[in-house]
Amino acid sequence: MNPRWLTWARALQAIAQNGLTYARDPFDVERYQAVREVAAEMFAYHTGEPVERLRALFEQEVGHATPKLDVRGVVFQEGRVLLVRERSDGGWTLPGGWVDIHESPRAAVEREVREESGYETRAVKLLALYDRDRHGHPPHPFHIYKLFFRCEIVGGAPASSVETDGVGFFSLERLPPLSLSRVTAAQLERFFQHEQHPDWPTDFD
């Protein structure tokens, strides 16, 4: 469960973003900007992040507020799963990232796996669609849905990227330190179970 402050701060940010999207009165615009500032200060107070960074992050969000989409590729080879090491925090994760505008989820996950690991893959099944808030990840400013796709290697070779500096296959018993903002051990265990039971349906919240 999210801490209460995170639920409140996100709600304030969404109210501000939606208000700024539809408001026409200049006084209403000022009020919604003030609400957005309160949300940024709440996040900064509870996370230690600079308020300037959070303010800039929120100012980039325009239009009606909706959850963001994060895709992850689940690639197995000889009973081990493909993980990449994030330069940002040194933790390991399934390759993936945000879905871009005008990009299908399948195209997004295949692109992310290629960019972060060097492998060309084909997405063959949606294993899980999770609400990030329900799966033990650390707090994040935005509400996120995570889509995990089973992918098969069709080419390429391991390679680092601007975001990753390690590529490897790991067994469930010998997982490296994980980037918990992106993937958890419980999620990986579930996907190993899916690998043993390919007829299982998609998990979803």
CATH at residue 156: 3.90.79.10
Structure confidence at residue 2 (pLDDT): 77
Residues 115 and 16 in one domain: no
By residue count, the chain amounts to 205
Mean per-residue pLDDT for 155-161?
Answer: 96
DSSP 24-59: -SHHHHHHHHHHHHHHHHHHHHHH---HHHHHHHHH
Residues 137 and 90 in one domain: yes
Residues 55 and 90 in one domain: no
* Boundary residue ending a domain (20, 35, 59): 59
Number of domains in the chain: 2
Residues 86 and 155 in one domain: yes
Residues 51 and 117 in one domain: no
Residues 90 and 48 in one domain: no
Residues 185 and 100 in one domain: yes
Say whether pLDDT at 1 is over 80.
no
Q: Where are the alpha helices (DSSP H) in the chain?
A: 4-22, 26-47, 51-59, 105-117, 185-196
Which has more confidence, 124 or 66?
124
**Whole-prediction pTM:** 0.84
Single out the residue of 43, 14, 34 nearest to residue 141, CA to CA.
43
Say whether pLDDT at 134 is over 90.
yes
Residues 121 and 176 in one domain: yes
- State pLDDT tens for residues 30-55: 999 999 999 999 999 998 999 999 99
Residue 162: give the domain boundaries: 68-204
Residues 88 and 171 in one domain: yes
* Boundary residue ending a domain (14, 42, 59): 59
Mean per-residue pLDDT for 4-13?
Answer: 92
Say whether pLDDT at 153 is over 80.
yes
* Boundary residue ending a domain (14, 38, 59): 59
Mean per-residue pLDDT for 65-74?
Answer: 95
Mean per-residue pLDDT for 94-104?
Answer: 95
Residue 117's pLDDT band, with cuts at 50, 70 and 90, is very high
Going from the C-alpha of 138 to that of each of 44, 99, 128, 181, the distances in angstroms are: 15, 21, 19, 6
Residues 94 and 174 in one domain: yes
Say whether pLDDT at 190 is over 90.
yes
Residues 29 and 75 in one domain: no
Average pLDDT of every residue of the chain: 95
Residues 33 and 72 in one domain: no
